[in-house]
Chains A and B, each alone.
Chain A
Amino acid sequence: MQYDLVIVGGGPGGVAAGVYAARKKIKTLLITEDFGGQSLVSADVQNWIGMKSVSGFDLGRMLEEHLRAQEDIDIEVGDRVKEVKDQGEAFAVHTERGKTLETKYLLVVSGSRRRKLGVPGEIEYNGNGVAYCSICDAPLFKGKTVAVVGGGNAGLEAVVDLLPYASRIFLLASSTVKGDPITQAKVKADPKVEIITRAKTQEIIGGESVTGLRYLDTEANIEKKIELQGVFVEIGAEPNSEFIKGLVELNERGEITVDHKTQQSSHPRIWAAGDVSDVLYKQNNISAGDAIKAVLDLYKKISKT
């Protein structure tokens, strides 16, 4: 079966695009591993417009429900795109489960994933003290000393997830602490939390599980060590753009460069939106809006041809 449009991704961008494409009766397939995007693991999303407060899990379910309420769309869950080949008139989209989809146009809303620290001990102790999902694993650090590496919003939120459980929390920021002033104030007010700025993590050490972390105080240029049982890594994200590399122009961070008026990439039949694109602000609401913009623009193009 040949589609007019394949949407790659099931976050707020992908789902918004899916709803609009279905309503425009564009022959569309949406492919995603899961619904909800990176907010899936957020305890509480308070800035999704129209909702005072919603958990990431419920947001994902609401998005899925809204998409499934559309009649004219095919949905493929639990699979991801491995490679895309341009055949001139159409693309062949190869998935990890070995399916091949044909489509004239592509909308890439594949988001981004957690960046790793890349220091010794990180891989060795992954799951044995090193963790990437604070909301999942925080209850397992009851009474323990932990560090959160990353001074942005994600780092602050991880500290908030850990507050009810850990006995002591170090927040390590490579420069200063950034992120929402409201969350910053909450974190700074708690005597359990110690903020260490200008700290460059160098090694995670341990025996069977994590026992400490070494970092460089980049201001004094002295190496220091903290004894702890857990390290939560929250140092930002990198775009999921590998599968489209070679077909579109990427910037130095690996993000797909787009025309911000239309969301079109450097390829005339590929659009992109959300965190995988070079959008300045990585936000759920913006991803949804930009992805809709992409569908409206490509719809204009399809109806002309």
Chain B
Amino acid sequence: MPKVMIYSTPTCVYCKMAKQLFDANGVKYEELNVAEDEKAYEEMKRKSRQSGVPVIDIDGEIFVGFDRRGLLSALKIPG
């Protein structure tokens, strides 16, 4: 199983869509709320070189925004 991290805010719709996609495919993930967790926010900015959510890290591959096809292909899930 790849290591999946999602940097999110509680109100972010595209974060919810990404999590919904993970749940539907049985993908486990770690969620970091960057609205509260400043360390995670800095880490997210360093990884993605920008400051908008969601940022998703799949084994070091960084996705900014909700890119269904990109995520599925990084997770090797046929879609």
Contact = CB atoms under 8 A, between A and B. Distances in A.
Nearest to A79: B69
Interface stretch (A130-138, A183-191, A213-221): A130-138
B51 interface: yes
Interface residues of B, number: 23
A140 B53 contact: yes
A127 B14 contact: no
Contact of A127 (B17, B34, B35, B52): B52
B64 A127 contact: yes
A56 B11 contact: no
B72 to A, nearest CB: 8
Nearest to B67: A78
A140 B36 CA distance: 9
A150 B68 CA distance: 30
Given A78-B69, A78-B79, A97-B69, A131 B52 contact: yes
Contacts of A131: 52
A136 B51 CA distance: 11
Nearest to A57: B13
Nearest to B12: A136
B4 to A, nearest CB: 18
A34 B17 contact: yes
Interface of B: 9-17, 34-35, 41, 48, 50-54, 64, 68-69, 72, 79
Given A137-B51, A142-B35, 16 more contacts: A77-B68, A78-B68, A78-B69, A78-B79, A97-B69, A133-B14, A133-B52, A136-B11, A136-B12, A136-B15, A137-B52, A140-B9, A140-B51, A140-B53, A161-B11, A209-B51
